[in-house]
Amino acid sequence: GEDVEQSLFLSVREGDSSVINCTYTDSSSTYLYWYKQEPGAGLQLLTYIFSNMDMKQDQRLTVLLNKKDKHLSLRIADTQTGDSAIYFCAETPSGGSQGNLIFGKGTKLSVKP
């Protein structure tokens, strides 16, 4: 199947690190993505990782990829209230329709001041 799994909720205090986890199903996906959706808005690409990488760092964001376990994580350092949103991981499975992004169910991140 093409289910991408994520935990639904995460609550952290401002200034802490947040870690959002994702398990994907297609080991041949070449790129994996993290999108952010703020309330009432569309999705914004935050970061992505190519499948031959284990880690990618982009300012406060760190993406870790474990291909063996098909596990992807997004770490947000020094989480701010403006980071409150729903975070979706996504893959483009090789056997699927070209261009089709398969999204996880989304993790709602709540940041308490």
The site for another protein (CB under 8 A) is made up of 30-31, 35, 40-45, 48, 50, 88, 92, 94, 97-101, 103-106
What are 48's two structure tokens? Answer: 């992505």
What is the distance in angstroms between the CA of the first residue and the CA of the last residue of the chain? 40
Closest distance between another protein and the C-beta of residue 111, in Å?
19
Q: Which is closer to another protein, CB of 35 or CB of 85?
A: 35
* Closest residue by Cα to residue 16 from 89, 105, 86, 80: 80
Closest contact distance (angstroms) between CB of 74 and another protein is: 15
User: CA-based Rg of the chain, rounded to a whole angstrom?
Assistant: 14
Least distance (Å) between residue 43 CB and another protein: 4
Name the token pair of 76.
Answer: 């947000």
Nearer to another protein, 81 or 100 (CB): 100
